[in-house]
């Protein structure tokens, strides 16, 4: 929605004969993120905005949408947030679905416009603060992290056009954001060979860490240069030692995703070339 390529046209699937979004069983569409996801983002928007081929890396599948939307700058109009909590009038998603954005066509492109009643529900969710649903924000075990941007699926890299310099990491619960700092978050360039054990690596300093949302915690990590040179990179978020990132209970993250607290989160990705 907020950053779409001209060729991304839907088939009309996801809408019933009256142009109403379908999905989520018989539950009505309400101003709750999970409801909007199941009725609108998943059946309609994610026809284009999904996976490695998502336009400009903007994905609206259930695993990515919240982190991609809330307090995230629009690619088309960077001065506007895709969703500005409490302010639908300055949320770019509203411009796109209402059809009065300065760039591009009305979303969903190539499909019937969303009914005004559906737009009103999305507006109300934003007005109410654009909160994640309680079920999505709750974590029942050690807090785990996952990469949202760049998408790491074993083959994904950031191209020169997709690389806005931001690395987005989402937790499955709320972190103690005071433990997220320059000591606990590091970014390393491989030195051009894609390896991190031969001594020619270099640290990318002066990272800016923006907290997009608290629960779930979404981190936007930005290199000072804005963009990254072509290379392979390793992002490490500490889950061990004195610099470990903690959750609100004071427990270290489960960075490795093993179900046990106290391990580093390590992500490798490339810029300008395949992994």
- pLDDT value at position 161? 43
Q: Can you say whether the dihedral through the CA atoms of 48, 49, 52, 58 is positive or negative?
A: positive
- pLDDT value at position 136? 59
Tokens representing residue 68 in the block:
């991609």
- pLDDT value at position 26? 62
- pLDDT value at position 243? 98
Which residue is it, tokens 């539950």? Answer: 27
Residue 110: burial class (beta carbons within 10 Å; 0-12, 13-18, 19+): middle
Structural domains of the chain, ranges and CATH numbers in brackets: 33-135 (no CATH), 139-271 (2.60.40.3710)
Q: Can you say whether the dihedral through the CA atoms of 85, 89, 94, 95 is positive or negative?
A: negative
- pLDDT value at position 137? 57
Residues in the chain: 275
* Helix (H) or strand (E) segment spanning residue 148: strand 145-149
Backbone angles phi and psi of 231, in degrees to 5: 180, 175
- pLDDT value at position 155? 43
91 and 80 in contact (C-beta within 8 Å)?
yes
- pLDDT value at position 160? 42
8 and 55 in contact (C-beta within 8 Å)?
yes
pLDDT along the chain (275 residues), means of 10: 40 49 68 96 93 83 95 92 97 96 89 96 98 71 91 51 71 96 96 94 94 96 84 96 97 96 95 60
């Amino acid at each position: 929605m907020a950053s779409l390529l001209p060729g991304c046209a839907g088939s009309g699937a996801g809408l019933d004969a009256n142009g109403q979004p379908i999905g989520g069983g018989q539950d009505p569409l309400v101003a709750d993120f999970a409801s909007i996801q199941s009725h609108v983002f998943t059946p309609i928007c994610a026809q284009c905005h999904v996976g490695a081929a998502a336009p400009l890396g903007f994905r609206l599948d259930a695993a990515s949408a919240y982190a991609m939307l809330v307090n995230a700058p629009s690619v088309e109009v960077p001065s506007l947030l895709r969703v500005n909590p409490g302010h639908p009038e300055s949320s770019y998603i509203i411009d796109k679905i209402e059809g009065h954005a300065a760039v591009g066509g009305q979303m969903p492109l190539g499909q019937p416009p969303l009914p005004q009643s559906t737009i009103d529900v999305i507006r109300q969710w934003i007005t109410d603060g654009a909160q994640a649903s309680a079920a999505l924000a709750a974590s029942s075990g050690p807090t785990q992290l996952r990469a949202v941007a760049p998408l790491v699926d074993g083959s994904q890299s950031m191209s020169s056009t997709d690389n806005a310099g931001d690395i987005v990491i989402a937790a499955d619960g709320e972190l103690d954001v005071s433990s997220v700092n320059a000591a606990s978050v590091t970014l390393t360039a491989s030195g051009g060979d894609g390896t991190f054990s031969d001594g020619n690596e270099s640290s990318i300093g002066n990272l800016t860490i923006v907290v997009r949302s608290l629960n779930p915690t979404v981190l936007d990590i930005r290199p000072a240069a804005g963009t990254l040179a072509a290379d392979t990179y390793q992002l490490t978020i500490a889950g061990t030692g004195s610099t470990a990132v903690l959750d609100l209970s004071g427990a270290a993250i489960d960075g490795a995703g093993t179900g046990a607290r106290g391990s580093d989160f390590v992500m490798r990705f490339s810029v300008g070339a395949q992994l």
